[in-house]
Chain A
Amino acid sequence: MTFSGAEASIRYDRQVRLWGEEGQSSIGATTVCLLGSDSLGTEILKSLVLAGIQSFFIVDDAKVEIADIGQNFFLHIEDVGKNRAEVTLEKLKELNPSVAGFASTISPTQLHETDIGKMCEFSVVVAANQTENIESLYANILWSQGVPLVCAKTSGFLGTIRICVKEHTIANSHEENPRPDMRLDNPFQELVEIINETNLDEMTIDELRHTPYILILFKALEIYRKNRQNPNAFPQSYSDRKEIQSIVLSLRRSSEESGTKDSENFDEAKMAVTRAFQKTEIPSSVQQILNDPNCSTSTEPFWIICEALRRFVDSNNGYLPVRGDLPDMTSDSKRYTRLATIFHEKASIDAKKVLELTREVEKERNLEDLMISEELCYRFCKNADRIRVQRGQSYDVQREIKSIIDLIKHLSIDSENDKSVDGSIWLLLLRAVDRFHNEKGRYPGTNGVPCTIDAFDLTQRVETIVKKAAETQEESIKIMNRIPKNAIDEICRYGAAELHVVSSLIGGITSQEVIKLATNQYVPLENTFVFDGHTQQSTTLKI
């Protein structure tokens, strides 16, 4: 069942306010495969189904155990003994009638052998508490096909998320407080006209105090240039900007009744100086994208528009399209709306040129006409100064362990009193837990084996890993000294416990990362996230 436009509009209202209709429609086209339907897996799917993805597919051969009932909300006590994938599927589907769901009761390893190609048809694949072996099996296939794999894990108070994606493009990073695009250094024609019409000295006090601060800044710049006898001078340094600020304040006039010069628009102008007086330049991260070889070959919409953008910049004196959003500022209605309108119109004209260039590139690459909609192109231009490309690391256990150990090596160890354990250390211990499980078929702290025995075993495994990865014996001793014995005991205490609250927390974060990957909005974490429930602190490591 799909919702009508009106139904969807109300149901998804609170989230569309964040990621827009375009974000919602990307989510509506997203298909997710989940490996493993334990509490972590179902909590991840819960938020995705609620958000309105197109469909999900659960792969899990587990039967429901009594302990599952104590931790997984998408099971009922009567489900014990049934196929976990099938039972959780039904209960997850109830969350949103527009989302389709499917389940397979074969194990992720078997599915891999029989249905390998199918995996690459999903938008994103999520592995919930899968072993290193299964993760790496999937990671290798998906990597080559460019499908993101998100590996989430929990153990007792700990949780980790690892994102594995070759290339991820971000058209709208939703940066908070982006620098305003006011073109103080190179105003376009319509803007120049307004500036020239503006004469602060001839205004009434009331007009002066309702002059939008962008005009005050332009006027202050005129005086600054006159003072320096340089028509192209532009404040660069801190002291230059201080000078501009004092010019701004000198433009105030006091009214007869109040006797004060204070007024809100001048305060705003002074405040805005630092952020507004920046050269209109292409940020280096964006320049790098425009120089990327993908621009000249790729048939992906992101790269096609980037190529068009590159050509636009070439013909536009090296400037990006005008963003078109004027910050709010104290003003009378007439002058603010006039300014807002010319910025908006200029942005439309620039975007239109980029669209024409986009069509040109589409034709050159023999792509169907109109693959990229006008709306998409316009939106892209609005955020062109904040586009991003992330290039991930492939799933390579040996390399990852090396970089984890490198991180531990460079940890600054604080006071003796600090009991908190760094995320890199937890990560290393969890790798050792994986080895333990791989060889013994059970997790440390389970099956009634005393924790002390398992802790001894786990310590030895950690040592083996460290010795192998460290460059010298000295280094390996140094690293082992940084691993608290208490932390190893703590891992054994967990006995692979699946605390629902930790599953829910890691599940929530994982699902939002999946949404980022699917919508090309916001910035996914790079590339490993470690959450420590003791302190509720988290770290993000690039391994």
Chain B
Amino acid sequence: MVSIDPLAGERWRSVRRLTDRHSTYAPEWFEAGQENFNIVQSAKILVIGAGGLGCELLKNLALSGFRNIDVIDMDTIDVSNLNRQFLFRESDVGKSKAEVAANFVRGRVEGCNVTAHNCRIEEKCAEFYRKFNLVICGLDSIAARRWINSMLCDLARFEDDGKTVDLQTVIPMIDGGTEGFKGNARVIYPRMSACVDCTLDLFPPQINFPLCTIAHTPRLPEHCVEYIKVVVWPKEKSEENLDADDPKHVEWVYEKAIARAKEYDIRGVTRRLTSGVLKRIIPAVASTNAVIAASCALEALKLISNIGQPINNYLNFTQTHGAFTSVVSMEKDENCATCSGGSFTIDVSEMSSLFELIEKLTAKFHLRNPSLETATNKLYYISAFLPQLEESSKANLERKLKDLVREGEEILMADESLSKAMSLRLRFV
């Protein structure tokens, strides 16, 4: 019997095999047919970040049949990106990541429209985000992840009953992250499944060396670098901010750190360590980015075309010892301030000072300069706009929590890394 493959001359033959054919492993509502692929081609996808994951994501989406892709990134290309951000060349150093990446994919994959946005995510409004069918993040910043998560949660609306989520307003979010040979990929249905803030404890807390250690009892090379950054630079170079991307600044810190290390007999201060501490560098290889981005894009393809069942809902990957993927189901926190309208409960001693609470919150939520207020009292607010509050704010820092707030009282916390104020309640332990 001689048969002819109906997809013989089809550019998208591989994807079409899956969109056009029946499967018992696809979701129940999957109906085989070309229509599924047409939906892929017309879907509007937003990629956040055009770095290690972003470059891979753009390629993966373009070669899955997606044709309407937007990419947003505020960064410019650096030489140290070239070991994995494969859409960039040496001649691109200094240019916008979003623009170069978009141009490259447009040029390589005919018919794929990639639109670049060379800006911060915070510069785009809700209307911008509302027009996408799906958002995929390839970010290295927890603050940015939380911001977009919160935006998408806000976009998801409840029906008139106040309980059921209006599916028309839900924009699924797929989030990838890597560090060295480890990574994760997750699928979030805002307000319907565990969101970034429901599972905030999954992120390692920011490592902040205690000031007393770096000032008085340094023992690690990192302590020496941190001391120069936090104490010496502001003292000796008060006219200029320390810019970790400026090699001259790095060199200055390096030399001072070497001297301090010598004084304390500490080994191991190198240029690489110095820049690593100053920029909080996360090690990265091409292969892990490829794996995690592919995992994210596979979920995107499943979600839009229904050719397979999406994962539920969090994938871990590691490859130092063999290679492992495993999927766990993260549970939604029904009290999540971001997706359930609840408050975060913070366990803290009533004898702690406001300063200690702020340090704890900054580490947990990866904040920059938070301000806190209750319904009746501005607890802490440092801003050029309201200088009159500075004095009372600073005075409050030393005061005990029991003298400032009641247990369970709502505290609103704002920070530049949050898309809106966050509700907190203290539990005294």
Residues of A within 8 A of B (CB): 7, 10-18, 39, 43, 46-47, 50-52, 66-67, 69-73, 76-77, 94-97, 156-157, 161, 173-176, 210, 328, 331-334, 336-338, 340-341, 344, 419, 445-449, 451, 486, 489-490, 493-495, 497-502, 504-505, 507-509, 511-513, 515, 522-526, 529, 531, 533-538, 540
Q: Which residues of A are found within 8 Å of B22, using beta-carbon distances?
A: 493
Q: Which of B3, B11, B298, B308 contacts A449 (CB 8 A)?
A: B3
Q: Which residues of B are found within 8 Å of A94, using beta-carbon distances?
A: 89
Min CB gap B64→A, angstroms: 6
Residues of B within 8 A of A (CB): 1, 3-7, 9-15, 17-18, 21-25, 56, 59-60, 63-65, 79-80, 82-84, 86, 89-90, 108-110, 180-181, 185, 217-220, 264-267, 272, 275-276, 281-291, 293-295, 297-299, 301, 308-309, 311, 315, 319-327
Q: A537 to B325, Cβ gap below 8 A?
A: yes
Q: A536 to B24, Cβ gap below 8 A?
A: no
A534 to B327, CA, bound (A): 11
Minimal Cβ-Cβ distance residue in B for A453: B1
A533 to B301, CA, bound (A): 11
Q: A534 to B308, Cβ gap below 8 A?
A: yes
Min CB gap B310→A, angstroms: 9
A524 to B322, CA, bound (A): 5
Q: Which of B12, B80, B86, B315 contacts A46 (CB 8 A)?
A: B86
Q: Which residues of B are found within 8 Å of A13, using beta-carbon distances?
A: 80, 83, 272, 275, 281
A176 to B288, CA, bound (A): 17
Q: Which residues of A are found within 8 Å of B82, using beta-carbon distances?
A: 11, 50, 96
Q: Which of B181, B290, B321 contacts A43 (CB 8 A)?
A: B290
- Answer whether A508 and B110 are a contact pair too, CB < 8 Å, given A66-B10, A67-B13: no
Minimal Cβ-Cβ distance residue in A for B318: A176
- Answer whether A333 and B217 are a contact pair too, CB < 8 Å, given A14-B84, A51-B83: yes
Q: Which of A11, A344, A494 contacts B17 (CB 8 A)?
A: A494
A7 to B82, CA, bound (A): 11
Instruction: Supply 10 A–B pairs (Cβ within 8 Å), ascending by A.
Output: A67-B14, A95-B86, A176-B321, A490-B23, A499-B18, A501-B63, A509-B323, A535-B311, A535-B327, A540-B322
Q: Which residues of B are found within 8 Å of A500, using beta-carbon distances?
A: 14, 59-60, 63-64
Q: Which residues of A are found within 8 Å of B180, using beta-carbon distances?
A: 18
Q: B286 to A50, Cβ gap below 8 A?
A: yes
A43 to B284, CA, bound (A): 17
Q: Which residues of B are found within 8 Å of A156, using beta-carbon distances?
A: 17-18
A67 to B80, CA, bound (A): 35
Min CB gap A204→B, angstroms: 15
Q: Which residues of B are found within 8 Å of A505, using beta-carbon distances?
A: 290-291, 294-295, 298
- Answer whether A336 and B219 are a contact pair too, CB < 8 Å, given A449-B3, A497-B18: yes
Given known contacts A448-B6, A533-B308, what 11 new A-B pairs fall within 8 Å (CB)?
A: A13-B80, A15-B83, A447-B4, A447-B5, A489-B24, A493-B17, A499-B18, A505-B298, A531-B325, A536-B325, A540-B324
Q: A512 to B217, Cβ gap below 8 A?
A: no
Q: Which of A16, A70, A534 contacts B11 (CB 8 A)?
A: A70
A340 to B221, CA, bound (A): 12
Q: Which residues of B are found within 8 Å of A176, using beta-carbon distances?
A: 320-321
Q: A10 to B267, Cβ gap below 8 A?
A: no
Q: A445 to B290, Cβ gap below 8 A?
A: no
A184 to B243, CA, bound (A): 45
Minimal Cβ-Cβ distance residue in B for A512: B287
Q: B294 to A504, Cβ gap below 8 A?
A: yes
Q: A504 to B272, Cβ gap below 8 A?
A: no
A95 to B89, CA, bound (A): 7
Q: B181 to A497, Cβ gap below 8 A?
A: no
Q: B320 to A523, Cβ gap below 8 A?
A: yes
Q: B25 to A538, Cβ gap below 8 A?
A: no
Q: A337 to B265, Cβ gap below 8 A?
A: yes
A50 to B80, CA, bound (A): 12
- Answer whether A501 and B60 are a contact pair too, CB < 8 Å, given A12-B83, A448-B3, A512-B287: yes
Q: Which residues of B are found within 8 Å of A489, using beta-carbon distances?
A: 23-24
Q: Which of B3, B286, B321 contacts A447 (CB 8 A)?
A: B3
- Answer whether A332 and B17 are a contact pair too, CB < 8 Å, given A509-B323, A511-B287, A533-B308: no
